Structure 1
Amino acid sequence: MKTLLQTLKGGLVVSCQAPADSPMHEPFVIAAMAEASVKQGAVGVRIDTPAHVRAVRQRLSAPIIGLWKQQIPGSEVYITPQFHHAAAIAEAGADIIAIDATLRERPGGETVESLIQQIHTQLGKLVMADVDTLEAAIAAASAGADLIGTTLYGYTAETRQFTPPGFALLTQIAKQLSTPILCEGGISSPAMARQAIDLGAHAVVVGTAITGIDLQVKAYQSALEIGLC
Protein backbone atom coordinates (compact mmCIF):
# COMPACT_ATOMS: atom_id res chain seq x y z
CA MET A 1 0.00 0.00 0.00
CA LYS A 2 2.87 2.36 0.78
CA THR A 3 4.31 1.57 -2.64
CA LEU A 4 1.01 2.51 -4.24
CA LEU A 5 0.94 5.86 -2.46
CA GLN A 6 4.56 6.47 -3.43
CA THR A 7 3.67 5.79 -7.07
CA LEU A 8 1.23 8.69 -6.98
CA LYS A 9 3.56 11.16 -5.26
CA GLY A 10 4.13 14.35 -7.20
CA GLY A 11 2.19 13.09 -10.18
CA LEU A 12 -0.90 13.65 -12.27
CA VAL A 13 -4.02 11.53 -11.89
CA VAL A 14 -6.42 11.95 -14.79
CA SER A 15 -10.13 11.66 -14.09
CA CYS A 16 -11.62 9.89 -17.11
CA GLN A 17 -15.36 10.37 -16.86
CA ALA A 18 -18.24 11.50 -19.06
CA PRO A 19 -21.90 12.43 -18.54
CA ALA A 20 -24.26 9.46 -18.72
CA ASP A 21 -25.98 10.93 -21.81
CA SER A 22 -22.72 11.55 -23.67
CA PRO A 23 -21.45 9.36 -26.53
CA MET A 24 -18.19 9.34 -24.54
CA HIS A 25 -19.89 7.36 -21.77
CA GLU A 26 -18.82 4.03 -23.21
CA PRO A 27 -16.45 1.69 -21.37
CA PHE A 28 -14.08 1.34 -24.33
CA VAL A 29 -13.93 5.13 -24.78
CA ILE A 30 -13.19 5.73 -21.10
CA ALA A 31 -10.56 2.97 -21.20
CA ALA A 32 -8.94 4.54 -24.27
CA MET A 33 -8.78 7.93 -22.54
CA ALA A 34 -7.24 6.29 -19.49
CA GLU A 35 -4.63 4.44 -21.54
CA ALA A 36 -3.73 7.58 -23.49
CA SER A 37 -3.32 9.47 -20.21
CA VAL A 38 -0.99 6.88 -18.72
CA LYS A 39 1.04 6.67 -21.93
CA GLN A 40 1.70 10.39 -21.63
CA GLY A 41 2.91 10.11 -18.05
CA ALA A 42 -0.15 10.14 -15.78
CA VAL A 43 0.59 8.18 -12.60
CA GLY A 44 -2.98 6.96 -12.28
CA VAL A 45 -6.60 7.49 -13.26
CA ARG A 46 -9.86 8.16 -11.47
CA ILE A 47 -12.81 6.20 -12.87
CA ASP A 48 -16.56 6.11 -12.14
CA THR A 49 -18.80 2.99 -12.26
CA PRO A 50 -17.88 -0.71 -12.10
CA ALA A 51 -18.22 -1.15 -15.87
CA HIS A 52 -15.73 1.61 -16.59
CA VAL A 53 -13.30 0.48 -13.89
CA ARG A 54 -13.40 -3.04 -15.32
CA ALA A 55 -12.74 -1.80 -18.86
CA VAL A 56 -9.80 0.32 -17.71
CA ARG A 57 -8.35 -2.50 -15.61
CA GLN A 58 -8.30 -4.75 -18.67
CA ARG A 59 -6.02 -2.28 -20.45
CA LEU A 60 -3.92 -0.82 -17.62
CA SER A 61 -1.88 -1.90 -14.64
CA ALA A 62 -1.55 1.70 -13.42
CA PRO A 63 -3.33 2.68 -10.18
CA ILE A 64 -7.08 3.18 -10.47
CA ILE A 65 -9.01 5.35 -8.04
CA GLY A 66 -12.52 3.98 -8.40
CA LEU A 67 -15.86 5.39 -7.36
CA TRP A 68 -19.53 4.90 -8.08
CA LYS A 69 -21.77 7.93 -8.20
CA GLN A 70 -25.24 7.04 -6.94
CA GLN A 71 -28.18 9.33 -6.29
CA ILE A 72 -30.04 8.01 -3.25
CA PRO A 73 -33.39 9.66 -2.37
CA GLY A 74 -33.15 11.78 0.75
CA SER A 75 -29.35 12.00 0.72
CA GLU A 76 -26.89 14.49 -0.79
CA VAL A 77 -24.04 11.98 -0.51
CA TYR A 78 -23.42 10.49 -3.96
CA ILE A 79 -19.77 9.42 -4.29
CA THR A 80 -19.66 5.71 -3.37
CA PRO A 81 -22.28 6.26 -0.64
CA GLN A 82 -22.55 2.72 0.74
CA PHE A 83 -20.36 -0.32 1.26
CA HIS A 84 -21.95 -2.44 -1.46
CA HIS A 85 -21.05 0.29 -3.97
CA ALA A 86 -17.44 0.18 -2.74
CA ALA A 87 -17.44 -3.62 -2.98
CA ALA A 88 -18.57 -3.48 -6.61
CA ILE A 89 -15.81 -1.00 -7.46
CA ALA A 90 -13.21 -3.15 -5.70
CA GLU A 91 -14.38 -6.28 -7.52
CA ALA A 92 -14.09 -4.44 -10.83
CA GLY A 93 -10.41 -3.83 -10.20
CA ALA A 94 -9.90 -0.49 -8.43
CA ASP A 95 -6.85 -0.09 -6.19
CA ILE A 96 -8.22 2.86 -4.22
CA ILE A 97 -11.87 3.49 -3.36
CA ALA A 98 -13.01 7.12 -3.34
CA ILE A 99 -15.87 7.95 -0.98
CA ASP A 100 -17.78 11.04 0.05
CA ALA A 101 -16.31 11.89 3.45
CA THR A 102 -18.17 15.14 4.13
CA LEU A 103 -19.94 15.61 7.42
CA ARG A 104 -23.35 15.24 5.78
CA GLU A 105 -25.74 12.55 6.95
CA ARG A 106 -25.16 9.31 5.07
CA PRO A 107 -27.83 6.99 3.66
CA GLY A 108 -28.64 3.96 5.78
CA GLY A 109 -27.09 5.43 8.89
CA GLU A 110 -23.59 4.31 7.89
CA THR A 111 -20.70 6.47 9.10
CA VAL A 112 -17.52 7.47 7.29
CA GLU A 113 -15.53 5.62 9.95
CA SER A 114 -17.46 2.36 9.55
CA LEU A 115 -17.30 2.56 5.76
CA ILE A 116 -13.54 3.10 5.77
CA GLN A 117 -13.08 0.24 8.22
CA GLN A 118 -15.15 -2.11 6.06
CA ILE A 119 -13.23 -1.17 2.93
CA HIS A 120 -9.94 -1.79 4.71
CA THR A 121 -10.83 -5.06 6.41
CA GLN A 122 -13.24 -6.68 3.96
CA LEU A 123 -11.91 -5.41 0.65
CA GLY A 124 -8.26 -4.76 1.47
CA LYS A 125 -8.30 -1.46 -0.42
CA LEU A 126 -7.03 2.03 0.27
CA VAL A 127 -9.58 4.81 0.77
CA MET A 128 -9.57 8.30 -0.72
CA ALA A 129 -11.80 10.57 1.35
CA ASP A 130 -13.39 13.29 -0.78
CA VAL A 131 -14.01 16.29 1.49
CA ASP A 132 -15.22 19.86 1.36
CA THR A 133 -13.87 21.41 4.57
CA LEU A 134 -10.96 21.19 6.98
CA GLU A 135 -13.26 19.72 9.63
CA ALA A 136 -14.28 16.91 7.28
CA ALA A 137 -10.64 16.27 6.39
CA ILE A 138 -9.64 15.99 10.05
CA ALA A 139 -12.54 13.64 10.73
CA ALA A 140 -11.68 11.48 7.71
CA ALA A 141 -8.03 11.23 8.71
CA SER A 142 -9.07 10.26 12.23
CA ALA A 143 -11.38 7.61 10.72
CA GLY A 144 -8.43 6.03 8.90
CA ALA A 145 -8.56 7.49 5.39
CA ASP A 146 -5.38 6.82 3.40
CA LEU A 147 -5.76 9.87 1.15
CA ILE A 148 -7.67 13.13 1.46
CA GLY A 149 -9.14 14.75 -1.66
CA THR A 150 -10.32 18.36 -1.95
CA THR A 151 -12.84 17.04 -4.47
CA LEU A 152 -16.05 18.40 -2.94
CA TYR A 153 -14.84 21.91 -2.13
CA GLY A 154 -17.39 24.23 -3.75
CA TYR A 155 -19.95 21.47 -4.32
CA THR A 156 -21.72 21.27 -0.95
CA ALA A 157 -24.13 23.62 0.79
CA GLU A 158 -21.40 24.62 3.22
CA THR A 159 -18.90 25.54 0.49
CA ARG A 160 -21.10 26.55 -2.44
CA GLN A 161 -19.97 30.16 -2.13
CA PHE A 162 -16.43 29.11 -3.03
CA THR A 163 -15.04 28.28 -6.46
CA PRO A 164 -12.57 25.42 -6.99
CA PRO A 165 -9.68 24.82 -6.93
CA GLY A 166 -9.56 24.62 -3.16
CA PHE A 167 -6.05 25.95 -2.70
CA ALA A 168 -6.94 27.54 0.63
CA LEU A 169 -8.38 24.24 1.86
CA LEU A 170 -5.35 22.36 0.52
CA THR A 171 -3.03 24.66 2.45
CA GLN A 172 -5.03 24.26 5.67
CA ILE A 173 -5.08 20.47 5.42
CA ALA A 174 -1.36 20.29 4.60
CA LYS A 175 -0.55 22.32 7.72
CA GLN A 176 -2.62 20.17 10.06
CA LEU A 177 -2.48 16.63 8.70
CA SER A 178 0.20 14.21 7.57
CA THR A 179 -2.27 12.21 5.43
CA PRO A 180 -1.41 12.56 1.71
CA ILE A 181 -3.64 15.08 -0.07
CA LEU A 182 -4.90 14.92 -3.64
CA CYS A 183 -5.90 18.31 -4.96
CA GLU A 184 -8.94 17.76 -7.17
CA GLY A 185 -11.46 20.14 -8.68
CA GLY A 186 -11.00 23.24 -10.80
CA ILE A 187 -7.44 22.54 -11.96
CA SER A 188 -7.51 23.92 -15.49
CA SER A 189 -3.87 24.44 -16.46
CA PRO A 190 -0.44 22.89 -15.98
CA ALA A 191 0.58 25.94 -13.96
CA MET A 192 -2.28 25.37 -11.53
CA ALA A 193 -1.31 21.74 -11.17
CA ARG A 194 2.26 22.78 -10.33
CA GLN A 195 0.92 25.29 -7.81
CA ALA A 196 -1.09 22.56 -6.07
CA ILE A 197 2.05 20.45 -5.61
CA ASP A 198 3.97 23.46 -4.31
CA LEU A 199 1.20 24.07 -1.75
CA GLY A 200 1.53 20.57 -0.36
CA ALA A 201 -0.51 18.24 -2.54
CA HIS A 202 0.73 14.65 -2.75
CA ALA A 203 -0.68 14.47 -6.28
CA VAL A 204 -3.09 16.36 -8.52
CA VAL A 205 -6.32 15.09 -10.10
CA VAL A 206 -7.43 16.75 -13.34
CA GLY A 207 -10.63 15.83 -15.14
CA THR A 208 -12.64 18.30 -17.22
CA ALA A 209 -9.64 20.28 -18.50
CA ILE A 210 -8.22 17.09 -20.05
CA THR A 211 -11.05 14.62 -20.65
CA GLY A 212 -14.24 16.67 -20.40
CA ILE A 213 -14.93 17.08 -24.10
CA ASP A 214 -18.66 17.69 -23.57
CA LEU A 215 -18.19 20.57 -21.13
CA GLN A 216 -15.20 21.99 -22.97
CA VAL A 217 -16.99 22.16 -26.32
CA LYS A 218 -20.06 23.63 -24.67
CA ALA A 219 -17.95 26.36 -23.06
CA TYR A 220 -16.26 27.27 -26.33
CA GLN A 221 -19.54 27.29 -28.23
CA SER A 222 -21.23 29.46 -25.60
CA ALA A 223 -18.41 31.97 -25.83
CA LEU A 224 -18.72 32.10 -29.62
CA GLU A 225 -22.49 32.55 -29.46
CA ILE A 226 -22.08 35.47 -27.07
CA GLY A 227 -19.68 37.05 -29.51
CA LEU A 228 -22.26 36.79 -32.30
CA CYS A 229 -24.99 38.60 -30.34
Structure 2
Amino acid sequence: MNPLLQNLEGGLIVSCQALEDEPLYGSAIMGKMAIAAREGGAVGIRANTPADIKAIKQAIDLPVIGLYKKNYQDSEIYITPTIKEVAEVVEAGADIVAFDATDRVRPGGQLLDDFVEEIRIRFPSVLLMADISTTEEGLHAVGLGCDLISTTLAGYTPYTEHITTFDKTLLTVLVEKTGCPIIAEGRVNTPELAAECIREGAFAVVVGSAITRPQEITKQFAKEIGKTSVNN
Protein backbone atom coordinates (compact mmCIF):
# COMPACT_ATOMS: atom_id res chain seq x y z
CA MET A 1 0.00 0.00 0.00
CA ASN A 2 1.09 3.55 -0.71
CA PRO A 3 2.77 4.94 2.46
CA LEU A 4 0.57 8.03 2.31
CA LEU A 5 -2.56 5.89 2.42
CA GLN A 6 -1.15 3.93 5.34
CA ASN A 7 -1.09 7.18 7.29
CA LEU A 8 -4.83 7.59 6.74
CA GLU A 9 -5.94 4.05 7.51
CA GLY A 10 -8.33 3.75 10.43
CA GLY A 11 -8.28 7.47 11.14
CA LEU A 12 -10.29 10.67 11.02
CA ILE A 13 -9.99 13.05 8.08
CA VAL A 14 -11.41 16.51 8.75
CA SER A 15 -12.98 18.46 5.91
CA CYS A 16 -11.89 22.09 6.35
CA GLN A 17 -14.06 24.02 3.93
CA ALA A 18 -15.92 27.31 3.95
CA LEU A 19 -17.72 28.87 1.00
CA GLU A 20 -17.75 32.58 0.19
CA ASP A 21 -21.06 33.18 1.97
CA GLU A 22 -19.91 31.53 5.22
CA PRO A 23 -18.43 33.31 8.27
CA LEU A 24 -15.15 31.36 8.30
CA TYR A 25 -14.38 31.82 4.61
CA GLY A 26 -10.71 32.51 3.91
CA SER A 27 -7.51 30.54 3.45
CA ALA A 28 -5.87 31.87 6.61
CA ILE A 29 -8.83 30.71 8.67
CA MET A 30 -8.86 27.28 7.01
CA GLY A 31 -5.16 26.94 7.77
CA LYS A 32 -5.90 27.56 11.45
CA MET A 33 -8.82 25.13 11.29
CA ALA A 34 -6.50 22.46 9.91
CA ILE A 35 -4.05 23.05 12.75
CA ALA A 36 -6.88 22.64 15.25
CA ALA A 37 -7.97 19.42 13.52
CA ARG A 38 -4.43 18.05 13.68
CA GLU A 39 -4.19 18.88 17.38
CA GLY A 40 -7.47 17.04 17.90
CA GLY A 41 -6.12 13.87 16.32
CA ALA A 42 -7.00 14.14 12.62
CA VAL A 43 -4.79 12.08 10.30
CA GLY A 44 -5.65 14.05 7.16
CA ILE A 45 -7.48 17.10 5.80
CA ARG A 46 -9.93 17.50 2.94
CA ALA A 47 -9.79 21.00 1.45
CA ASN A 48 -11.43 23.03 -1.31
CA THR A 49 -9.70 25.53 -3.64
CA PRO A 50 -6.02 25.89 -4.51
CA ALA A 51 -5.65 28.79 -2.10
CA ASP A 52 -6.92 26.81 0.88
CA ILE A 53 -4.86 23.76 -0.09
CA LYS A 54 -1.67 25.86 -0.22
CA ALA A 55 -2.43 27.51 3.12
CA ILE A 56 -3.11 24.17 4.80
CA LYS A 57 0.00 22.53 3.33
CA GLN A 58 2.06 25.41 4.72
CA ALA A 59 0.43 25.13 8.13
CA ILE A 60 0.58 21.36 8.76
CA ASP A 61 2.31 18.22 7.54
CA LEU A 62 -0.75 15.96 7.27
CA PRO A 63 -1.89 14.48 3.92
CA VAL A 64 -4.32 16.80 2.12
CA ILE A 65 -7.16 15.61 -0.09
CA GLY A 66 -7.70 18.49 -2.48
CA LEU A 67 -10.70 19.43 -4.60
CA TYR A 68 -11.91 22.50 -6.40
CA LYS A 69 -15.61 23.32 -6.52
CA LYS A 70 -16.55 25.03 -9.77
CA ASN A 71 -19.95 25.46 -11.43
CA TYR A 72 -20.43 24.90 -15.17
CA GLN A 73 -23.66 25.75 -16.97
CA ASP A 74 -23.78 22.47 -18.89
CA SER A 75 -23.30 20.12 -15.94
CA GLU A 76 -24.50 19.44 -12.38
CA ILE A 77 -21.01 18.28 -11.45
CA TYR A 78 -19.06 20.80 -9.38
CA ILE A 79 -16.42 18.84 -7.41
CA THR A 80 -13.23 19.13 -9.48
CA PRO A 81 -15.26 18.85 -12.69
CA THR A 82 -12.59 19.28 -15.40
CA ILE A 83 -8.90 18.69 -15.97
CA LYS A 84 -8.31 22.43 -15.43
CA GLU A 85 -9.37 22.14 -11.78
CA VAL A 86 -7.38 18.93 -11.38
CA ALA A 87 -4.25 20.72 -12.58
CA GLU A 88 -4.78 23.59 -10.14
CA VAL A 89 -5.34 21.21 -7.23
CA VAL A 90 -2.18 19.26 -8.08
CA GLU A 91 -0.16 22.46 -8.49
CA ALA A 92 -1.40 23.66 -5.09
CA GLY A 93 0.22 20.62 -3.50
CA ALA A 94 -2.65 18.25 -2.78
CA ASP A 95 -1.53 14.71 -1.99
CA ILE A 96 -4.81 13.23 -3.25
CA VAL A 97 -7.27 14.69 -5.76
CA ALA A 98 -10.98 14.22 -5.06
CA PHE A 99 -13.49 14.50 -7.89
CA ASP A 100 -17.12 13.74 -8.69
CA ALA A 101 -17.33 10.22 -10.11
CA THR A 102 -21.12 10.03 -10.29
CA ASP A 103 -23.12 8.89 -13.29
CA ARG A 104 -23.90 12.37 -14.58
CA VAL A 105 -22.96 14.42 -17.61
CA ARG A 106 -19.63 16.16 -17.14
CA PRO A 107 -18.82 19.65 -18.45
CA GLY A 108 -18.38 19.59 -22.20
CA GLY A 109 -20.04 16.16 -22.35
CA GLN A 110 -16.83 14.40 -21.31
CA LEU A 111 -17.27 10.80 -20.14
CA LEU A 112 -15.98 9.82 -16.72
CA ASP A 113 -13.76 7.11 -18.21
CA ASP A 114 -12.09 9.63 -20.51
CA PHE A 115 -11.71 12.11 -17.65
CA VAL A 116 -9.90 9.61 -15.43
CA GLU A 117 -7.71 8.52 -18.34
CA GLU A 118 -6.79 12.15 -19.00
CA ILE A 119 -5.80 12.62 -15.35
CA ARG A 120 -3.67 9.47 -15.42
CA ILE A 121 -1.86 10.62 -18.55
CA ARG A 122 -1.15 14.14 -17.31
CA PHE A 123 -0.58 13.33 -13.64
CA PRO A 124 0.43 9.66 -13.45
CA SER A 125 1.64 9.78 -9.85
CA VAL A 126 -1.33 11.54 -8.26
CA LEU A 127 -3.69 9.53 -6.05
CA LEU A 128 -7.37 9.74 -6.96
CA MET A 129 -10.41 9.79 -4.68
CA ALA A 130 -13.72 9.10 -6.44
CA ASP A 131 -16.73 10.77 -4.80
CA ILE A 132 -19.75 8.59 -5.57
CA SER A 133 -23.41 8.25 -4.57
CA THR A 134 -24.36 4.64 -5.44
CA THR A 135 -22.92 1.15 -5.35
CA GLU A 136 -22.78 1.02 -9.14
CA GLU A 137 -20.79 4.25 -9.30
CA GLY A 138 -18.40 2.94 -6.67
CA LEU A 139 -17.80 -0.30 -8.52
CA HIS A 140 -17.26 1.59 -11.77
CA ALA A 141 -14.71 3.88 -10.10
CA VAL A 142 -12.87 0.83 -8.76
CA GLY A 143 -12.79 -0.55 -12.30
CA LEU A 144 -11.24 2.70 -13.48
CA GLY A 145 -8.41 2.22 -11.02
CA CYS A 146 -9.25 4.98 -8.55
CA ASP A 147 -7.19 4.72 -5.37
CA LEU A 148 -9.96 5.60 -2.92
CA ILE A 149 -13.75 5.53 -3.12
CA SER A 150 -15.73 7.96 -0.97
CA THR A 151 -19.46 7.87 -0.21
CA THR A 152 -19.47 11.69 -0.26
CA LEU A 153 -22.38 12.23 -2.62
CA ALA A 154 -24.93 9.70 -1.34
CA GLY A 155 -28.05 11.81 -0.85
CA TYR A 156 -26.72 14.68 -2.93
CA THR A 157 -27.55 13.52 -6.46
CA PRO A 158 -31.05 13.71 -7.95
CA TYR A 159 -31.40 9.92 -7.88
CA THR A 160 -30.29 9.56 -4.24
CA GLU A 161 -31.97 12.60 -2.67
CA HIS A 162 -34.26 10.27 -0.70
CA ILE A 163 -31.22 9.47 1.48
CA THR A 164 -31.15 11.90 4.40
CA THR A 165 -28.74 10.19 6.80
CA PHE A 166 -25.37 8.50 6.36
CA ASP A 167 -25.78 5.59 3.93
CA LYS A 168 -24.47 2.64 5.95
CA THR A 169 -25.64 0.15 3.34
CA LEU A 170 -23.58 1.81 0.61
CA LEU A 171 -20.51 1.61 2.83
CA THR A 172 -20.92 -2.04 3.79
CA VAL A 173 -21.71 -3.20 0.25
CA LEU A 174 -18.67 -1.43 -1.22
CA VAL A 175 -16.43 -2.82 1.53
CA GLU A 176 -17.77 -6.30 0.83
CA LYS A 177 -17.59 -6.13 -2.97
CA THR A 178 -14.26 -4.35 -3.48
CA GLY A 179 -10.72 -4.57 -2.25
CA CYS A 180 -10.38 -0.83 -2.58
CA PRO A 181 -10.12 1.55 0.41
CA ILE A 182 -13.62 2.90 1.05
CA ILE A 183 -13.94 6.27 2.77
CA ALA A 184 -17.06 6.97 4.84
CA GLU A 185 -18.21 10.51 4.15
CA GLY A 186 -21.49 12.40 4.06
CA ARG A 187 -23.56 13.15 7.17
CA VAL A 188 -21.18 11.42 9.57
CA ASN A 189 -22.27 13.70 12.40
CA THR A 190 -21.36 11.98 15.67
CA PRO A 191 -18.23 10.34 17.12
CA GLU A 192 -20.23 7.17 17.65
CA LEU A 193 -21.22 6.98 13.98
CA ALA A 194 -17.64 7.63 12.88
CA ALA A 195 -16.42 4.76 15.06
CA GLU A 196 -19.17 2.51 13.74
CA CYS A 197 -18.06 3.23 10.17
CA ILE A 198 -14.54 2.03 11.01
CA ARG A 199 -15.95 -1.12 12.62
CA GLU A 200 -17.97 -1.74 9.44
CA GLY A 201 -14.78 -1.69 7.37
CA ALA A 202 -14.34 1.93 6.32
CA PHE A 203 -10.70 2.66 5.53
CA ALA A 204 -11.07 6.11 7.08
CA VAL A 205 -13.83 8.58 7.93
CA VAL A 206 -14.28 12.15 6.69
CA VAL A 207 -16.17 14.56 8.93
CA GLY A 208 -16.88 18.13 7.90
CA SER A 209 -19.82 20.20 9.12
CA ALA A 210 -20.06 18.49 12.52
CA ILE A 211 -16.55 19.79 13.28
CA THR A 212 -15.76 22.79 11.08
CA ARG A 213 -19.04 24.66 10.53
CA PRO A 214 -19.86 26.32 13.87
CA GLN A 215 -22.94 28.02 12.46
CA GLU A 216 -24.46 24.61 11.68
CA ILE A 217 -23.48 23.18 15.07
CA THR A 218 -25.00 26.24 16.77
CA LYS A 219 -28.26 25.74 14.86
CA GLN A 220 -28.60 22.23 16.29
CA PHE A 221 -28.20 23.47 19.87
CA ALA A 222 -30.53 26.44 19.31
CA LYS A 223 -33.16 24.21 17.72
CA GLU A 224 -33.21 21.78 20.65
CA ILE A 225 -33.32 24.58 23.19
CA GLY A 226 -36.13 26.18 21.22
CA LYS A 227 -38.16 22.97 21.48
CA THR A 228 -37.72 22.99 25.25
CA SER A 229 -38.79 26.63 25.49
CA VAL A 230 -41.95 25.95 23.50
CA ASN A 231 -42.83 22.93 25.66
CA ASN A 232 -42.39 24.97 28.82
Partner of 1:79: 79
Structure 1 stretches of 5 or more lacking a match? none
Q: Distance in 2 between matches of 1:118 and 1:74?
A: 20
Q: Secondary structure at the match of 2:103?
A: coil
Partner of 1:13: 13
Q: Are residue 212 (structure 1) and residue 213 (structure 2) matched?
A: yes
Using the TM superposition, give the Cα deviation of residue 19 of structure 1 relative to its aligned residue in structure 2, in angstroms: 2.8
Contact 2:74 2:108 in 1 (8 A): no
Contact 1:80 1:98 in 2 (8 A): yes
Partner of 1:164: 165
Partner of 1:96: 96
Q: Distance in 1 between matches of 2:165 and 2:75?
A: 23
Q: Secondary structure at the match of 2:46?
A: strand
Superposed CA offset, 1:147-182 (max 9, x none): 000000011111111123111100110111111000
Using the TM superposition, give the Cα deviation of residue 66 of structure 1 relative to its aligned residue in structure 2, in angstroms: 0.4
Q: Distance in 2 between matches of 1:222 and 1:189?
A: 17
Partner of 2:176: 175
Q: Distance in 1 between matches of 2:97 and 2:4?
A: 13
Q: Following superposition of structure 1 onto structure 2, how do residues 1-229 of structure 1 map, counting pairs within 5 Å?
A: 2-123=2-123, 124-229=125-230
TM-score between both structures, scaled by the size of structure 1: 0.95
Q: Secondary structure at the match of 1:157?
A: coil
TM-score between both structures, scaled by the size of structure 2: 0.94
Using the TM superposition, give the Cα deviation of residue 227 of structure 1 relative to its aligned residue in structure 2, in angstroms: 4.6
Instruction: Name the CA shift for 1:225/1:40 in 2 (closer, same or farther; >3 Å).
Output: closer
Using the TM superposition, give the Cα deviation of residue 226 of structure 1 relative to its aligned residue in structure 2, in angstroms: 4.8
Q: Distance in 2 between matches of 1:97 and 1:138?
A: 19
Q: Distance in 2 between matches of 1:61 and 1:122?
A: 25
Root-mean-square deviation over aligned CA pairs: 1.4
Superposed CA offset, 1:20-58 (max 9, x none): 212301111101111111122211000001110011011
Q: Distance in 2 between matches of 1:160 and 1:114?
A: 27
Matching residue's letter, 2:159: E
Matching residue's letter, 2:63: P
Number of residue pairs aligned between Structure 1 and Structure 2: 229
Contact 2:151 2:171 in 1 (8 A): yes
Contact 1:112 1:143 in 2 (8 A): no
Q: Distance in 1 between matches of 2:164 and 2:183?
A: 17
Superposed CA offset, 1:114-156 (max 9, x none): 2223333322211100000000001111111100000000111
Q: Secondary structure at the match of 1:99?
A: strand
Q: State the identity as a percent.
A: 42
Select between 33-42 and 148-157 the one with higher mean Cα deviation: 33-42
Select between 3-12 and 69-78 the one with higher mean Cα deviation: 69-78
Structure 2 stretches of 5 or more lacking a match? none
Superposed CA offset, 1:66-119 (max 9, x none): 001111113111110001101101111100000000011111122222222333
